[in-house]
Chains A and B, each alone.
Chain A
Amino acid sequence: MHSLVERYIAVATRHLPEGSRTDAARDIRVMIDEMVEARIVAGEDPDVAATALLNELGDPSVLARTFEDQPRYLIGPRHYDQYISLMKVLLTWIPLTAFLALLAINVLTDDRSLVDSFVQGGLDAAWTGVVVASQIIFWVTLTFAIMEWAERSGTEPEPADQWSISDLPAELPQRQIGLGEAAWGIGMMVLTGAMLVIQHIRGIEAFVRNDSVRETLDGHVVPFLNPDIPTWIAVATFGLVLFTAVAEMVKFAVGSWTLPVTIAEIASAIGFVVLPALAISRWGLVNPEIHDIWANDTTKWLTGNRFEQIFLLAMIVISVLSIYEAVRGYFDYRRRSSETPIPGEDFVFIV
């Protein structure tokens, strides 16, 4: 009867879940029809009544939400504080570090006048800082939103009456994992991911401004890593980087070395040794063209397998250290909560 009302209802229910849309639309229609009718009975002009009512009801999507109990937030109170503090630290330090590092590289490796290279390099570095910041905002928000969603759609929380005093931890819960540690871990992953992409797309030219090297390159893109390494290794590496970054965020949100957190940490550490070791043993990690460049320079000692050996050794040392820390953290966590069983091992979804 009123195309206006039809349009209002359509807009109102547009974002409701499929299952309850028609149902909610019918109830909203009942309300509008009855209210309009009452206005007409009260002597209002039928043509004006609907318009006036809809004006009073206001924004249709706001009205629709009162008809359907949908959470109206992305990140709830449980993780809000961690989300905000992690975001603050990451957004302060990573873009700033990226900016300063890139500015330094740009200025030091540029042969133009100092002012020119400062201006050009500064703009370049600032833009990178902005890009890095937006990446951080996106990925951190996405991770927390998924955690929120996973907890919401997971099993119902234990009813309060099943809780007993013995569920209290033996000692006051202490954060084992601080913000600095999480920020460092995530920062490293952002940096690793960025380096992997940049070295592939722009080649080592993006990092080196040494004139003789640039002449050797002669404008063509020379990736640092061996292009013969198959795509699946690259995909796996990106997966590992993403997994580790997400695991760092979850680790910070949980705050303790629970079993899932410890397992994720160990898996990531092993991955960072296995993937490079695989690449080195089958295809060689470094682009053969880089070896040519090294051979012509004072960096001759890096040729052969020397670089790969040093790199792999470094990765093994780092991994062993982080596995050691994870295992120690886990036993420490077990010891602290040994009086009572570890409550539920929250964040089950990660395993």
Chain B
Amino acid sequence: MDTRDAVLATHQQEIRRGTVVVAVLALLRSPGYGYALLEALERSGIEVDANTLYPLLRRLEKQGLLTSDWDTEGGRPRKYLQTSPEGKQLLARLVDEWNRLNASLTSIVEGHEEDA
């Protein structure tokens, strides 16, 4: 049943893809650095690989949704990231979308047609 597992994995990945962005923008409302974020995501039950997360952080930063600061005190310099005001606005919209989708899906899965 290898192919079934592969199919499942593909669909799971499709569902998860956008959720990481929401989680990242939400967690980084207070500043944090990459690895700490990775651990926080893991603790919250969101599985993401380092080589997915770091490129994602870079893209979000380029889109102006995250701001970065270098902390050069002590040991090696660390790159701290924080959700920008623009990122917070986007986060609010995404959370709305998430809630809407969740409600729709719940009602569809439970078999009640939603009257919008």
Contact = CB atoms under 8 A, between A and B. Distances in A.
A69 B56 CA distance: 11
Interface of A, secondary structure class, is helix
Nearest to B53: A31
A67 B55 CA distance: 5
Given A30-B79, A35-B50, A67 B58 contact: yes
Nearest to A27: B58
B98 interface: no
Contacts of B78: 30, 34
A37 B74 CA distance: 14
Interface residues of B, number: 14
Contacts of B58: 24, 27, 67
A63 interface: yes
A38 B51 contact: no
A24 B52 CA distance: 14
A111 to B, nearest CB: 64
Contact of A30 (B34, B51, B52, B59): B34
A130 B54 CA distance: 47
Contacts of A345: none
Given A30-B79, A31-B50, A33-B76, A38 B55 contact: no
Contacts of B35: 34-35, 37-38
Nearest to A30: B79
A28 B50 CA distance: 11
A107 B58 CA distance: 66
Interface string B43-54: 000000011101
B34 A63 contact: no
A318 interface: no
23 contacts: A24-B58, A27-B54, A27-B57, A27-B79, A30-B34, A30-B79, A31-B34, A31-B50, A31-B51, A31-B54, A33-B76, A34-B34, A34-B35, A34-B78, A35-B50, A37-B35, A37-B76, A38-B35, A66-B51, A66-B55, A67-B54, A67-B55, A67-B58
Q: Which 8 A-B pairs have the closest CB atoms?
A: A34-B35, A31-B54, A66-B55, A67-B55, A30-B79, A27-B58, A34-B34, A38-B35
Given A37-B35, A38-B35, A66-B55, 13 more contacts: A24-B58, A27-B58, A28-B54, A30-B34, A31-B34, A31-B50, A31-B54, A34-B78, A35-B50, A37-B76, A66-B52, A67-B58, A69-B59
